[in-house]
């Protein structure tokens, strides 16, 4: 590996802090505050827009930098997480809800949740439904639908519940951040999708500043909102800055589970950064894909190609901004995504934390600026 100074490894404490913040789609303010606090502590200026996106950047310089027409490279990661919204309070004091973002209903029953209730106070609860002992034979054969579930917050009736929450209040999972496995090799938490991407961007900015690295392009880091419900924040960010290139930092479902084999196993934990060729919203730039795989190999950083086409991310809007943006997706392989207990391996997270600064340093964006 070439010498780049002190390349970042995953700041587990920072990741834990970000994952712990309340931030379902539309409620990203607390996550943005945590990001802003860390950037300010590192002497990095940032700004926000009216929708809640947060932006930080570092101007380019040196050989090849065109101050009048600079190449613009955007890193993008979303701050929001999947969650819930209350749509009814029953006469018994239970809370009916809808999912915000794509959540598998089979992982919900019995999970701890928190609702951001009146006066901004957290109201703890649990997701419940008819007990298996009371289900019919037919009901036991199928997953309980969300329409048959409710939040139990310990209220004695509707009037009691309304002291604490209202229809329209948001909620999210509350399971905490845990390291487990040999020597703490794995992490488990809600919201690793995509607080990990936010962590990488913060650490990349800090690395550029700490090492005095001069990049021949303007670097923009977009901490976006509302990815889980349509990626609207990313579209606003891309239209604001009109980047020539974008690297979307994500976490991706991989399917490396018992009984899953071949190309259905999209990627594997322990094999490094996941590089997508395409998904349901974007075909990624082939030169960038080839470049990141080559750079990873030359620098001894593990990386793998995603073998399954599914989902989408902020690139779905970013690649259409302005005259068009060349995009690359670099994702952390994660198990049980969009659940209360997403699982990732620290060696994979570390690989991405190292790969992004090296890719920015070596790819040569200045040669291919869009007109």
pLDDT in tens, 285-329: 999 999 999 999 999 999 999 987 777 899 999 999 888 999 999
Q: Give me the residue spans of the domains in the chain.
A: 12-81+190-368, 83-173
pLDDT in tens, 49-98: 999 999 999 999 998 899 999 999 999 999 999 999 999 999 999 999 99
Q: Residue 280 has what pLDDT? A: 87
What whole-number distance in Å separates Cα of residue 122 and Cα of residue 94?
16
pLDDT in tens, 108-142: 999 999 999 999 999 999 999 766 665 666 766 67
Q: What is the pTM of this model?
A: 0.94
CB 251 within 8 A of CB 99: no
pLDDT higher than threshold 70 for residue 4: no
pLDDT in tens, 155-198: 999 999 999 999 999 999 998 899 999 999 999 999 999 999 99
Q: Domain spanning 12-81+190-368 has what CATH number?
A: 3.40.630.10
Structure-model confidence comparison of residues 314 and 258, the more confident one: 314
Q: Mean pLDDT over all residues of the chain? A: 91
Segment among 188-197, 229-238, 241-250 with least mean pLDDT: 229-238
Q: Residue 64 has what pLDDT? A: 84
Q: What are phi and psi of 290, to 5 degrees?
A: -60, -40
* C-alpha angle 64-74-312 in degrees, rounded to nearest 5: 140
Q: How many CB atoms neighbour CB 124 within 10 A?
A: 13
Q: Residue 232 — very low, low, confident or very high, per pLDDT cuts 50/70/90? A: confident
What whole-number distance in Å separates Cα of residue 201 and Cα of residue 215?
15
User: 160: which residues sit within 8 A by CB, 6+ positions away?
Assistant: 93
CB 330 within 8 A of CB 249: yes
Burial of 355 (0-12, 13-18, 19+ CB in 10 A): buried
Q: Residue 242 has what pLDDT? A: 94
User: 365: which residues sit within 8 A by CB, 6+ positions away?
Assistant: 71, 73, 216, 217, 244, 245
Q: Residue 230 has what pLDDT? A: 81
Q: Residue 258 has what pLDDT? A: 60
pLDDT higher than threshold 70 for residue 270: yes
CB 171 within 8 A of CB 81: no
pLDDT higher than threshold 70 for residue 226: yes
Q: Residue 367 — very low, low, confident or very high, per pLDDT cuts 50/70/90? A: low
pLDDT higher than threshold 60 for residue 1: no
Instruction: Sort residue 332 into left (φ over 0), alpha (ψ -120 to 50) or beta.
Output: beta
Fold that domain 83-173 belongs to in CATH: Elongation Factor Tu (Ef-tu); domain 3 (2.40.30)
Cα dist from 112 to 123, 126, 174, whole Å: 11, 5, 6
Query: Exposure pattern of 248-263 as b/e (b: 16+ CB <10 Å)?
Result: bbbbbbbbbeeeeeee
Radius of gyration for the alpha carbons in the chain, expressed in angstroms and rounded: 21
pLDDT higher than threshold 60 for residue 259: no
208-219 mean pLDDT: 95
Q: What are phi and psi of 229, to 5 degrees?
A: -120, 25
């Amino acid at each position: 590996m070439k010498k780049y100074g002190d390349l970042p490894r995953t700041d587990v404490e920072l990741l834990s802090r970000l994952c712990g913040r309340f931030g379902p789609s539309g409620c990203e303010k607390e996550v943005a505050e945590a990001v802003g606090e860390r950037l300010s502590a590192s002497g990095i200026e940032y700004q926000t827009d009216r929708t809640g996106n947060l932006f930080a950047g570092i101007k380019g310089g040196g050989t090849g930098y065109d101050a009048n027409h600079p190449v613009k490279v955007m890193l993008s990661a979303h701050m929001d997480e999947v969650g819930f919204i209350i749509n009814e309070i029953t006469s018994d004091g239970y809370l009916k809800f809808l999912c915000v973002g794509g959540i598998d209903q089979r992982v919900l029953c019995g999970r701890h949740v928190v609702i951001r209730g009146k006066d901004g106070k957290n109201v703890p609860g649990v997701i419940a439904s008819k007990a298996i002992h009371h289900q019919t034979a037919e009901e036991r054969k199928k997953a309980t639908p969300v329409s048959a579930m409710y939040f139990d917050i310990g209220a004695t009736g509707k009037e009691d519940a309304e002291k604490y929450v209202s229809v329209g209040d948001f909620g999210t999972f509350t399971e905490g951040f845990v390291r487990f496995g040999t020597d703490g090799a794995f992490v488990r938490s809600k919201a690793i999708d995509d607080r990990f991407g936010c962590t990488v961007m913060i650490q990349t900015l800090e690395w550029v500043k700490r090492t005095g690295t001069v990049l021949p392009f303007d670097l923009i880091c977009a901490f976006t909102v509302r990815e889980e419900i349509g990626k609207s924040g990313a579209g606003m960010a891309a239209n604001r800055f009109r980047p020539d290139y974008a690297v979307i930092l994500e976490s991706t479902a991989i399917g490396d589970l018992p009984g899953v084999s071949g190309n259905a196993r999209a990627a594997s934990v322990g094999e490094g950064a996941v590089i997508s060729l395409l998904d349901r919203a974007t075909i990624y730039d082939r030169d960038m894909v080839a470049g990141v795989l080559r750079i990873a190999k030359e620098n001894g950083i593990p990386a793998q190609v995603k073998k399954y086409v599914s989902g989408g991310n902020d690139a779905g809007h970013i690649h259409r901004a302005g005259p068009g943006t060349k995009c690359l997706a670099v994702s952390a392989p994660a198990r049980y995504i969009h659940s209360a207990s997403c699982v990732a391996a620290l060696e994979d997270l570390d690989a991405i934390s190292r790969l992004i600064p090296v890719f920015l340093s070596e790819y040569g964006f200045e040669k291919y600026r869009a007109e």
